[in-house]
Amino acid sequence: MFKVVGIYTKPLKTRSPEKIIELLDFLEKSKVKYYIDEQTGENIGEKRNVRRGDEIPSLVDLIIVLGGDGTILSVSRKIANRDTPVIGINFGFLGFLTQIKLERMTEELERVFKGNFRYENRMRLEVEVIKENRVEESFIALNDVVINKKAIARIINLKTYVDGGFLSRFRADGLIISSPTGSTAYNLSSGGPIIVPEHKSFILTPICPHTLTNRPIVLSPNSNIEIVLEDGKDVMLTVDGQTGMELKTSDVVRVKRSPYPLTMVIPNDLNFFDVLREKLKWGER
């Protein structure tokens, strides 16, 4: 089913070389062609089948990511507007996105290559930063967009609109605009709800709001969200915790659903609620 795969790995991972080599041996025995990104090639001293990271998504049928959830977030940006599916092997800690355990890597991939999997389309966010009535920068997020302060003990004021209608003025340390996939990230630690990843919605969660009545809210995936920074110094927009830019007073952040979801390949025996119980220790005393 998958004849050509691309491989990305988390850099400088002590056990990466031997596991990457194990994966390449498995692919060769399975007669699956592969490409590796430059970082992976350098990590294992391999010069064959090496391509630039931004080239790989257009060359392959499947992307295999060996790393943590942060590695998946990074690869998601490289995929951009393509529908190349992704499967994650967990080299990290929590592993909500990289759900396959490292010790079961080849067994699970063998089952996937035989068709024992399902697709999950993960909603992504399209973000624009408007400065002086023009688009200054744009981003694609898989997890979340966060507006928060860089300095300590300062409240920022965020005037928020949904579909042109006034929603609320948030006086808080910041605001998280999350996808369902990102609901188990910063949103969860800030008191927001967990949303099953195949659901489509936005979650707005204030960070340490000054007004106790400000609570997280779940919005339609068709919503157009507009946030105006009314005042606040040293404020940052952060996308997926990895990239972003500084915001100034009167800057506008617009967020809507991206027309390009991220397609995840999930082995049929993996269940989101099993992952929650394992990672969050639900039901344990």
pLDDT > 70? residue 190:
yes
Q: Which residues have C-beta within 8 Å of that of residue 250, sequence separation ≥ 6?
A: 228, 229, 230
CA 240 to CA 14: how far, in whole Å? 25
Q: Is the pLDDT of residue 246 over 90?
A: yes
Mean pLDDT confidence for 90-95:
72
Range among 77-81, 150-154, 156-160 rated most confident:
156-160
| Pairwise CA distance, residues 112 & 267, whole Å | 6
Three-class SS of residue 242?
A: coil
In this prediction the pTM is: 0.91
**Both tokens of residue 23?**
């994966």
Which run of H or E residues covers position 250?
Answer: none
Domains of the chain by start residue, with CATH: 4-123+261-280 (3.40.50.10330), 125-257 (2.60.200.30)
Q: What is the pLDDT of residues 200-242, one digit of tens each?
A: 999 999 999 988 788 999 999 999 999 999 987 889 999 999 9
- Number of other CB atoms surrounding residue 249 within 10 Å: 13
> Using CA of residue 3, residue 54, residue 35, residue 110, what is the dihedral sign?
negative
Selected residue with higher pLDDT from 280 and 5: 5
By annotation, the residues acting in catalysis are 69
Give dist(CA 147, CA 124) in Å, integer: 17
Rounded to an integer, the average pLDDT of 181-204 is 94
Residues 11-48: tens digit of each pLDDT: 655 456 888 889 999 999 999 999 999 988 888 888 88
